[in-house]
Amino acid sequence: MLDNMTVEDMTKAVALIDGKYKTEASGGITESTLRSVAECGVDYISIGALTHSVKSLDLSLKVES
């Protein structure tokens, strides 16, 4: 888990890990930083912003008679 790291630090960590383990980047990743994080070589990316900023919608499946 490469959490709250800069892209530069993640790139160094991925090089040190050298494919021995799966890597996941998380913490502070946004749509604007996604590409640079992906390009650093991590296996997985977790983006909390996808769920933190979602607007809820109240749906009801009640059938009124």
| HEC per residue, 3-58 | ECCCHHHHHHHHHHHCCCCCCEEECCCCCCCHHHHHHCCCCEECCCHHHHCCCCCC
Better pLDDT: 52 or 6: 6
What are the tens digits of pLDDT across the range 36-53? 999 999 999 998 876 766
Chain-wide mean pLDDT for the chain?
89
**CATH architecture classification, 2-52:** Alpha-Beta Barrel (3.20)
Domain extents in the chain: 2-52
pTM of the prediction?
0.72
pLDDT above 90: residue 1? yes
What are the tens digits of pLDDT across the range 9-18? 999 999 999 9
- pLDDT, residue 53, reads 67
